Chain A
Amino acid sequence: MRKSTLLVFLLIFALAMVFIYGMIGWNVFVSFTGWTGGTPSYNLVGLSNYTKLVHDPLFWGSFLRTLLLFSVIPISLGIGLFLAILLNQNVKGARIFMIIYLMPFAFSLVVTGVVWGRMFAPSNGAVNTILRAIGLGALASGWYTESSTVMLSVIIATVWQFSGYCMLILLAGLKSVSKKKIDAARSKGASTLRIYRDLVFPRLAIPILTAVVVLMIFTLKTFDLIWVMTSQGQPGTSAYTLPVMVVVQARGLFIAYGAAAGNVLVALVLLIIIPYLYWIYRKR
């Protein structure tokens, strides 16, 4: 490597490092201070922000709702797998179906929040209109305006956004199963169920793992959708997840406390990606 190459490498590397690890380091340091308000104060207070977190019902509510959002993962994977298996049956116009199923994934989460706000609108919303039209009017509700259904609304909108992505990843996995093996098994009289169990699903292990990790991270990052659809986590704090809570703290200038909550979120992410990256790269 020449000197100029090394120099350019170090510059780009440093830029990424400052914005990623510099910020995390700053957060870790600030979480041990008593900083509230617009002017920095670096008086160290030890772990008190973290002990405050442990006793804060808002934090635990947000934490549990973040985990609740993980239910998006099996649902999206289920729908995605179903669609991928269907599309793998020599379907005519498969491309068009794929493009349609994938389109939500290109949406900004802000646009998704706005559009699903219209779908779930309590008066004259599309979902309630459909429910009433098919005789299920009893299920019509206030959706994101009621604390009992707000998370359900968020989950449905998120599933809509991510199912197509799951379909694509799983379809790529299905396509990688060799036709010869399937034909051979079929000529030996193996049932479709057996073929799927023994030949197809093992090939899906890696795509499924990848999709699970990607969706987990997406879920842990999701903030825009909830922020827009539920007007910043309302009603009350019943749509607060960890990212929403962290942003609320930052905007309220509870800097040190917000940093502590943020560190918990970063720890969760690390807990997921370190084993994943280790598993993917261990063969090196």
Chain B
Amino acid sequence: MGMLDRFVAKVTAFTKTFQKKIAPIRPKRIALYLVLILFAIVFLLPIWVAFMTSLKNDTEVDNSNPLLPPTSPTSSAYSKALGVLGRPMINSLVFTIGAVLLSVLLGSILGYIFSKFKFRYHNLVFLIIVAGTFLPYTTIVYALVRLISGLHLYTTIPGLILTHTAYGIPVCAFMFRNFYADIPQSTIDKARKRGDGDWRIYRRIILPASGTAIVTVVMFQFTSIWNDFLFGLFLGGGPTQAEPATVALAGLAGSHTNLLMAGAMLVFLPVFLLYVFMGRYFVRYLTGPSESPEKEIEPTPELE
């Protein structure tokens, strides 16, 4: 008896949720989804066209409809593109990883100092650094060439690592400072009373609480350094020196369209993989830097 009651109750509950899920079909909802899908198609179209073009052979690429898939897909454009872009992609990978690690480490230390130490004019000093994020690098690129040449790092991987690290510090410090604002000052004060030094606090309290922050900032930095073109153009040199993948791709301009598109797909691939597998962090990073100024206004939470 009891079992039957429970069964009936379950069935009615199930049908109720089911009814809720399948709401009566409303024309407005259908229009909504149609518009969303239409926009999705428009947004994906360039990627689709580029990808389809990259799979076509030399004759089909000139004669076929650019929107349609190839009749006989071939990877020949990719093997050609890899021949040109292989070495530059390795260059890019090496200096990107190096600069990401360094700028994230240094930015995290600066973020820690700016969020947990109050010294005179600390906000003004912080603003002076953050303003660097907005510098249009085109304007200073020749000065930079002279500086890097003076350091004997012109057309070298270390030269690009140094450059990207230096220009990455402001944005990293900015993002880490916002993340560290959530770590209560009282925790820091307690540790200080116990006699912990600054670096012990950094290692024991700040770093363990930085998981999401580090992933987010690493993603941000990886994307912007990998995607950079200007510094690579002026400081990279040739493929056997430090030429990045983006510069090599731009150098392909004028060659056959399928080769160019295959190159574009290859250069996009690492960022795409990062984006697909860690998309939620990516979304956080996009809302992060521009949303956080508001949060900045609030003082560090004082819990005690």
Partner-B contacts on A (CB < 8 A): 1-2, 4-5, 8-9, 12-13, 15-16, 18-24, 26-27, 30, 83, 86-87, 89, 91, 97-111, 113-119, 121, 124-126, 129-130, 160, 163-165, 168-169, 172, 206-207, 210-211, 214, 217, 220-221, 223-224, 227-228, 231, 243, 246-247, 250, 255, 258-259, 262-263, 265-266, 269, 273, 277, 280-281, 283-284
Contacts and interface: CB of A to CB of B under 8 A. Distances in A.
The 5 tightest CB contacts between A and B, nearest first, are A262-B139, A108-B227, A23-B140, A19-B166, A20-B132
Interface stretch (B5-13, B37-45, B181-189, B210-218): B37-45
B135 A24 contact: yes
B286 interface: yes
Given A89-B32, A99-B279, A27 B143 contact: yes
Given A27-B139, A280-B296, A114 B167 contact: no
Nearest to A12: B106
B234 to A, nearest CB: 8
Nearest to A30: B143
Contact of B47 (A115, A168, A221, A243): A115
B229 A110 contact: yes
Contacts of B198: 1-2, 4-5
A13 B139 contact: no
Contact of A169 (B130, B250, B287): B287
Contacts of B109: 8-9, 12
B267 interface: yes
Interface residues of B, number: 88
Contact of A160 (B43, B110, B147): B43
A177 B279 CA distance: 25
A1 B129 contact: no
Chain B contact surface mostly: helix
B267 A108 contact: yes
B136 A221 contact: yes
Given A12-B110, A118-B261, A224 B230 contact: yes
Given A13-B125, A103-B47, 14 more contacts: A106-B271, A106-B272, A109-B227, A110-B246, A111-B227, A114-B261, A114-B263, A118-B66, A118-B260, A168-B286, A168-B287, A217-B136, A221-B137, A262-B140
User: Main SS of chain A's interface residues?
Assistant: helix
Contacts of A22: 143, 147
Given A118-B66, A227-B229, A19 B113 contact: no
A15 B131 CA distance: 15
Contacts of B197: 2
A183 to B, nearest CB: 18
Contacts of A243: 136, 138-139
18 contacts: A4-B198, A5-B117, A13-B110, A19-B163, A19-B167, A20-B135, A21-B132, A26-B143, A30-B143, A106-B272, A107-B271, A114-B261, A130-B67, A207-B290, A211-B290, A250-B142, A259-B139, A277-B130
B16 to A, nearest CB: 18
Contacts of A26: 140, 143, 146
Contacts of B144: 19, 23
A262 B106 CA distance: 29
B291 A210 contact: yes
A228 B253 contact: yes
A114 B147 contact: no
B39 A169 contact: no
Contacts of A2: 197-198
B113 A118 contact: no
A238 to B, nearest CB: 18
Contacts of A130: 67
B180 interface: no
